[in-house]
A and B are shown apart, each in its own frame.
Chain A
Amino acid sequence: MWQSCKALLWRDVQLAQRQGGGLGAALAFILAVLVLVPISVGPDLALLQRLAPGLMWLSLLLAVLLTADRMFQQDFEDGSLDLMTMAALPFELVVLTKFLGHWLTVSLPLALIAPPLGLMLNLDVASLPILWLSMFAGSLALSLLAGLGGAVTVGLRRGGLLVSLLIMPLYVPVLIFGVSATTMMMGPQSPVPSLLILVAITLVSLVVAPLASAAALRAYLQ
């Protein structure tokens, strides 16, 4: 069982590498947001510094959301997903492995690249480590919930907008605790509680997302 999980994960990572698109496009999206923000609110450095952690979180979240509909689409269309339901592995585990593949190839790299890019918004250098930490802790939850969105809309031709509507409310807690960890670092309080709650949210998503996604995918495959 462990072997086939590893094989599946390796397949997904390799596919993502060869096809490209996912990570590159998401990164380009974050860069585009970085340009649009100063244009929309003005180049006031003090204001940008205040907004920077929140904006970096927001752009990370939206970038991951945009890759959601790709997570199962191809495997659904070419029939690989059908085969995976018949594998010896429990289907929930297959789905979880695919989520991990997405996390390794999209969310995690983005979470590592995004904080330094925040320096363009005059992000305080001292808040870089905590932003890295909070994004690292939250990125898995982002992948899991995006995957849930991708699963419930997999058979729909115009699912993009629906995914955003369905997943945004689920992203609210992740965003709140991700940002509050960084803003607390700036204040007198400790960021540890926020980070712990972020991890707790990730753990809850780790249970709920694969179960719900597997159920949705089965419904589409029937």
Chain B
Amino acid sequence: MQKFANPVVFLKLANAVLPWVWVLTALLFAIGLYGALVSTPPDAVQGEAMRIMYIHVPAAWMGLFVYVLMAGFSAVALVYRHPLADAAAKTAAPLGAMFCFLALATGSIWGKPMWGTWWVWDARLTSMFVLMLLYMGYVAVWNAIDDPHLAAKIARIIALVGVINIPIVKFSVDWWNTLHQPASVFTMKGSKIDPSMLWALLVMALAYTFLFLALHLVSMRSEIAARKLRQLRSNEIGAR
């Protein structure tokens, strides 16, 4: 198994794919933003504020998706002792945290014209907030432990416990929210998504996915270089 985890093979592949991924990302963003800001009509109920959806919803999707991906890498690392999988999980976390933060921030900005307040303890925003805390804990583990091998082992456990926790949090926050249902909360059901809006949303979601892919590949390349560097330096010290 260790032979398939060869970073050289990965680097070759990543370097070959990266330019195409960047081009595709730029293209998708161009089309998606055109759709989101120009071609789609303003919503009947919400007006222009609806356009925030095209960046809020993809960010929220990515926030969740990246965590599941990270947990998947951690599980692979746990089972196959695949060093590349640890690097993949480690580098995915800051990106996921950023998507989470953007989902929360744009949700808050969207909330102001819709709810009349910057923050509502609505079920989805609350679970997103907890998800961001999970990301922050995961990143903090990598930062707190100096030995990279130990940090990798502990981080795997944290990621896997976190992914078990996500559905439980989701369920309990929904329960809690119906218990304290505020009087006038805007729901997505109120304004059904029109097909003319849907295509722009999907293109934006794809654009976010490819942006993540590009940044993740670069970040992994950087992590592999950093590891090699550390190894070379410690060899040098050992040789003296």
Residues of A within 8 A of B (CB): 148, 152-153, 155-156, 158-159, 162, 165-166, 168-170, 172-173, 176-177, 180, 183-184, 197, 201, 204, 208, 212, 215-216, 219-220
Q: How far does the alpha carbon of A156 sit from the alpha carbon of B153 in the complex, in Å?
A: 14
Task: Check if B140 sits within 8 Å of A162, measured CB to CB.
Answer: yes
Binding site of A, secondary structure by majority: helix, strand, loop or mixed? helix
**Minimum distance in angstroms from A184 CB to a CB of chain B:** 8
B28 within 8 A of A: no
CB pair A169 B179 closer than 8 Å: no
Q: Hey, which chain A residues are within 8 Å of B225, CB to CB?
A: none
Within 8 Å by CB of B130, from A148, A159, A169, A184, lies A169
Residues of A contacting B26 with CB < 8 Å?
none
Contact A215 B157 (CB under 8 A): yes
CA distance A172 to B168 in the complex (A): 9
- A166 CB to nearest B CB, Å: 4
Does B161 make an interface contact (CB < 8 A)? yes
Residues of B within 8 A of A (CB): 130, 133-134, 136-137, 140-141, 144-145, 150, 153-154, 157-158, 160-162, 164-165, 168-169, 171-173, 175-176, 179
Q: How far is the CB of A156 from chain B (nearest CB, A)?
A: 6
Q: Of the candidates B141, B145, B153, B169, which one forms a contact with A173 in the assembled complex, judged by CB atoms under 8 Å apart?
A: B169
A172 touching B157 in the complex, CB below 8 Å, given contacts A165-B137, A219-B150: no
**Once bound together, how far apart are the Cα atoms of A176 and B134, in whole Å?**
17
- B150's nearest neighbour on chain A, judged by CB, is A219
Q: How far is the CB of B100 from chain A (nearest CB, A)?
A: 12
Contacts of B130 in A (CB 8 A): 169, 172
- Which of B150, B153, B176 meets A176, CB within 8 Å? B176
Centre residue among B136, B144, B160, B164 by max chain A CB count within 10 A: B144
Q: Say yes or no: B173 contacts A176, CB within 8 Å.
A: yes
Q: Are B140 and A148 in contact (CB under 8 A)?
A: no
Do the beta carbons of B157 and A166 come within 8 Å of each other?
A: no
Q: How far is the CA of A180 from the CA of B173 in the complex (A)?
A: 11
Chain B positions within 8 Å of A180 at CB level: 175-176, 179
Knowing A156-B145, A169-B162, A220-B150 are in contact, say whether A176-B175 is a contact too (CB < 8 A).
Answer: yes
Q: Chain B interface secondary structure, helix, strand, loop or mixed?
A: helix
Contact of B165 among A155, A156, A159, A169 (CB under 8 A): A169
Query: Can you list 12 residue pairs at the A/B interface with Cβ under 8 Å?
Result: A156-B145, A162-B137, A162-B140, A168-B133, A169-B134, A169-B165, A169-B169, A173-B165, A180-B176, A212-B160, A215-B153, A219-B150
Q: Does A162 lie within 8 Å of B141, measured CB to CB?
A: yes
Given A162-B141, A208-B161, the answer on whether A169 and B133 have CB atoms closer than 8 Å is: yes
- Report whether B157 and A201 are in contact in the complex, using a CB–CB cutoff of 8 Å: no
Chain A residues with Cβ below 8 Å from B169 are 169, 172-173
For the A-B complex with A148-B161, A169-B130, A170-B165 known, give 8 more contacts whose Cβ atoms are closer than 8 Å.
A162-B140, A166-B137, A166-B140, A183-B179, A212-B157, A219-B150, A219-B153, A220-B154
A168-B133, A173-B169 given; A212·B140 CB < 8 A: no
Residues of B contacting A170 in the complex (Cβ-Cβ under 8 angstroms): 161, 165
| Set of chain B residues within 8 Å of A159, measured between Cβ atoms | 144
Report the bound CA distance from A21 to B219 in whole Å: 46
Task: For the complex, give the distance between the alpha carbons of A216 and B154 in Å.
Answer: 6
Task: For residue B169, give the distance in angstroms from its CB to the closest CB of chain A.
Answer: 5
Q: Which 7 A-B pairs have the closest CB atoms?
A: A219-B153, A173-B172, A176-B172, A166-B137, A176-B176, A165-B137, A169-B133
Q: How far is the CA of A197 from the CA of B164 in the complex (A)?
A: 16
Write out the residue numbers on chain B whose beta carbons fall within 8 Å of the beta carbon of A169.
Answer: 130, 133-134, 137, 162, 165, 169
